[in-house]
Amino acid sequence: MSASTAIGLVSNSLRNLLLGEMSLGLAADVTILAPDQAAGEPRVNLFLYRIEENPFLRNQDATVRRGALGELAAPPLSLTLYYLMTAYAPNDAQIGNSTAQQLLGEAMRVFYDHGVVSANYLDPGLLDAREQLQIVNKSLDPEELSRIWSTFAQPFRLSVLYQVSTVQLDARPAHPITIPQRVRRIGVPGIRQPIDRPVVLDLAPRAVAAGGTVVLTGEHLTGWPGSVSMGGLAVLPRAELTGDVVTVTVPATVLPGMYDLRVDVAGMFRRVFTLEVTQ
């Protein structure tokens, strides 16, 4: 429900239900009047005498507003309605209020059989409501009943109390609650592997004196970052390669012996060559 008129629409829906389901064989109307209205023809009257806010639904989370995906709707005002059902019929010289009692019993049967108001009896303004209308019979405190009837000029009549819930009215804050835009595009990011992976094919020479140079040759190295280390020393710091031939200088301080020359190209290619450092 959204409009503030939903309370009246609920009363209309209850009237529709009684008119559609009562089958006593007696022509009777259903009214939504104060209990002190003149009786007239046989009728069942529904009097809305109390409205309460549902305390359990007061702190609901905000939800996305219908038709506005970028805004949040504040929690709705959730209400419980209390109706006094009373039956009226002209008194008979012999059976008195028997007809009114029959009407009251038939109306109670309808509400018992239809604890949830079906869509075909709902007022058109309630067809898109988020919640169902549930009807529950409630015991009425004699003192409360006495206070209700004491406000009217008519004497007490046999009545039954019903609770109808939950009726929700959408809030209308002065300033709408907007949702920050977090996702700008939905989809799978394109991740591609290069067609020609960089590769180092050879090292020459395999033996060199300290301070000399060696040449690494490969394919598709241009543009990729590469580095070369030897014995824990970075002999070629990580830098963008400018060709498929890379010259590396062996440090002059390296002692003679066998060393692992480790080559890394952009993390996509790694290879270890054995290099002998001579005197």
For 177-190, the pLDDT digits (tens) are 666 666 666 676 66
Which of the 8 DSSP states describes residue 198? -
Mean pLDDT of 198-203: 92
pLDDT at 14: 94
Residue 78 lies in a domain: yes
Report the C-alpha gap between 166 and 116 in whole angstroms: 11
- Domain of 241 in residue numbering reads as 199-278
Q: Three-state SS for 256?
A: coil
Residue 148 — very low, low, confident or very high, per pLDDT cuts 50/70/90? confident
| Sign of CA pseudo-dihedral 215, 217, 220, 226 | negative
Residue 245 lies in a domain: yes
* Weakest-pLDDT range from 36-40, 53-57, 213-217: 36-40
Q: In terms of Cα–Cα distance, which of 102, 100, 162, 170 is closest to 135? A: 162
Are residues 274 and 235 part of one domain? yes
**CA geometry: angle at 229 spanning 225 and 234, to 5°?**
85
Are residues 119 and 252 part of one domain? no
The secondary structure element, H or E, covering residue 110 is helix 98-113
The residues with which 79 forms a beta bridge, in sequence order, are 53, 167
> Torsions phi, psi of 213, nearest 5?
-120, 150
Mean pLDDT of 74-100: 82
Mean pLDDT of 169-196: 65
Give the start-end residues of each E strand in 59-212.
Answer: 63-64, 71-73, 77-88, 134-138, 159-169, 177-178, 199-204, 207-209
Residue 16 has pLDDT above 60, yes or no: yes
Report the C-alpha gap between 257 and 250 in whole angstroms: 12
Are residues 221 and 103 part of one domain? no
Contact at 8 Å (CB) between 48 and 31?
Answer: no
Are residues 146 and 23 part of one domain? yes
102: left (phi over 0), alpha (psi -120 to 50) or beta: alpha
Residue 139 — very low, low, confident or very high, per pLDDT cuts 50/70/90? confident
pLDDT at 93: 63
Residue 64 has pLDDT above 70, yes or no: no
Are residues 225 and 174 part of one domain? no
Residue 92 lies in a domain: yes
Report the C-alpha gap between 81 and 166 in whole angstroms: 8
Q: In terms of Cα–Cα distance, which of 196, 225, 214 is closest to 254? A: 214
Residue 205, preceding peptide bond in cis (omega within 30° of 0) = yes
Are residues 174 and 128 part of one domain? yes
Residue 70 has pLDDT above 70, yes or no: no
Are residues 204 and 143 part of one domain? no
Residue 15 has pLDDT above 70, yes or no: yes
Percent pLDDT > 70 in the chain is 81
Q: Which of 1-15, 129-143, 157-171, 215-229 has the highest mean pLDDT?
A: 215-229
Are residues 55 and 151 part of one domain? yes
Residue 227 — very low, low, confident or very high, per pLDDT cuts 50/70/90? very high
Residue 193 lies in a domain: no
Are residues 236 and 136 part of one domain? no
Residue 38 has pLDDT above 90, yes or no: no
Residue 194 lies in a domain: no
CATH of residue 218: 2.60.40.10
**Separation in Å, CA 185 to CA 178, 179, 182, 189, 225:** 19, 16, 9, 10, 31
Mean pLDDT of the chain: 83
Are residues 123 and 56 part of one domain? yes
Residue 191 lies in a domain: no
* Weakest-pLDDT range from 134-138, 144-148, 164-168: 144-148
Contact at 8 Å (CB) between 275 and 216?
Answer: no
Report the C-alpha gap between 171 and 77 in whole angstroms: 7
Q: How many CA atoms lie within 13 A of 203 on its CB side?
A: 19
Residue 163 lies in a domain: yes
Residue 13 has pLDDT above 80, yes or no: yes
Are residues 208 and 155 part of one domain? no
Residue 192 lies in a domain: no
Between residues 74 and 115, the one the model is more confident about: 115
Chain-centre distance for alpha carbon 279: 76
| Sign of CA pseudo-dihedral 8, 11, 17, 19 | negative
Are residues 103 and 20 part of one domain? yes
Q: Provide the number of structural domains found in the chain.
A: 2
